[in-house]
Structure 1
Amino acid sequence: MTEYLISFNDGAMDHIPGGEMPDVGKAVQAVVQEAVNAGVWVYGGGLERQQASVVAMNGTVTDGPFPETREVIGGFSVVDVATRDEALTWAAKLADACRCPQEVRELMSDSETDALLREADSRG
């Protein structure tokens, strides 16, 4: 299986009237529950608007917002599926629920990290 990041840009849902957001939330939760039931859901969530901090290699911290940044992620989901087409299917469901386009990107696999996680899972 391969993990895919499904995300949308900050502000992509700004066109939705505030009164409709509870319905959007319910629709998103229904897709998440469907993904959980299908065994493909890994993790997801929304991000606070422009609350980023950048930590340099020397430990220096610079806090946002960063006005020169054109696009930042507003929310994301990670699914673990067999094919890119399956990831695109989940992205389409999320796009419909969120009422905004979704970007799909394959996450790189790190076999050493994966092995460490499997070992930790087996220890409980």
Structure 2
Amino acid sequence: MAEYLLLEHSRGAPAAVNDVPRDQGEPDEVSAHIRYMQDFAARLESTGEFVDAQALSPEGTFVRYDGEGRPPVTDGPFPETKDLIAGWMVIDVDSYDRALELAGELSAAPGAGGKPIHEWLEVRPFMSEPPTVTE
């Protein structure tokens, strides 16, 4: 088994679904989207492939070490950005192909009008220690 991080990229702001910001969607559309995500996670729990998931707020702050002991802090991401991380899910699956299969399915979550949102998901394996070589 290998763990993968599925990063949910949403175009537009805040986190648009079919070009409709999620906070401006119809209540039944928002509920359908959330229900789809919950059902997807529950199904993966039943197969032992679900590890964890969280939705993220569109507000955030960027911090970077400045070399002088006090990190500069900037506001962001900003609503005019083209891409926001809306959330993430950690899965534990048998193969990279299975991770891709699940990411594709998650990208079909419903949005405006019940249509699939075709949201980009970034699939990243977790780093692991290199194999130990003994001679």
**Which category of TM-score, normalised to the shorter sequence, fits these structures?**
0.7 to 0.9
1:56 aligns with 2:65: yes
Q: Could you tell me how far 1:30 is from its partner in structure 2? A: 0.4
Question: Structure 2-normalised TM-score?
Answer: 0.67
Deviation sequence 1:58-110 (CA, Å, 0-9, x none)? 45251421449643311111111111111112112211225332323232323
Unmatched tracts of structure 2, length 5 or more:
111-116, 131-135
User: Which structure carries more helix by proportion?
Assistant: 1
Q: 2:95 aligns with which of 83, 90, 99?
A: 83
Given residue 5 of structure 1, which amino acid in structure 2 is its aligned partner?
L
Given residue 64 of structure 1, which amino acid in structure 2 is its aligned partner?
D
Q: 1:25 aligns with which of 34, 37, 52?
A: 34
Provide the C-alpha distance between the structure 2 equivalents of 1:41 and 1:59, rounded to a whole number of angstroms: 38
Mapping 1:1-80, distance limit 5 Å: 1-10=1-10, 11-13=15-17, 14-15=19-20, 17-19=25-27, 20-56=29-65, 58-67=69-78, 70-80=82-92
Provide the C-alpha distance between the structure 1 equivalents of 2:70 and 2:50, rounded to a whole number of angstroms: 33
Are the aligned partners of 2:6 and 2:90 in contact in 1 as well (CA < 8 Å)?
Answer: yes
The alpha-carbon distance between structure 1 residues 26 and 66, as it changes in their structure 2 partners (threshold 3 A), is closer
Q: Any runs of at least 4 consecutive aligned residues in structure 1 with deviations exceeding 3 A, and if so which?
A: 66-70
The number of aligned residues is 112
Q: What RMSD, in angstroms, separates the aligned Cα atoms of the two structures? A: 2.5
Aligned-pair identity (%)? 22
Are the aligned partners of 2:6 and 2:88 in contact in 1 as well (CA < 8 Å)?
Answer: yes
Provide the C-alpha distance between the structure 1 equivalents of 2:81 and 2:119, rounded to a whole number of angstroms: 19
Given residue 73 of structure 2, which amino acid in structure 1 is its aligned partner?
T
Are the aligned partners of 1:31 and 1:97 in contact in 2 as well (CA < 8 Å)?
Answer: no
Q: Could you tell me how far 1:25 is from its partner in structure 2? A: 0.7
Larger Rg: 2
Unmatched tracts of structure 1, length 5 or more:
113-124
Given residue 3 of structure 1, which amino acid in structure 2 is its aligned partner?
E
Moved more, 67-76 or 36-45: 67-76
Given residue 105 of structure 1, which amino acid in structure 2 is its aligned partner?
V
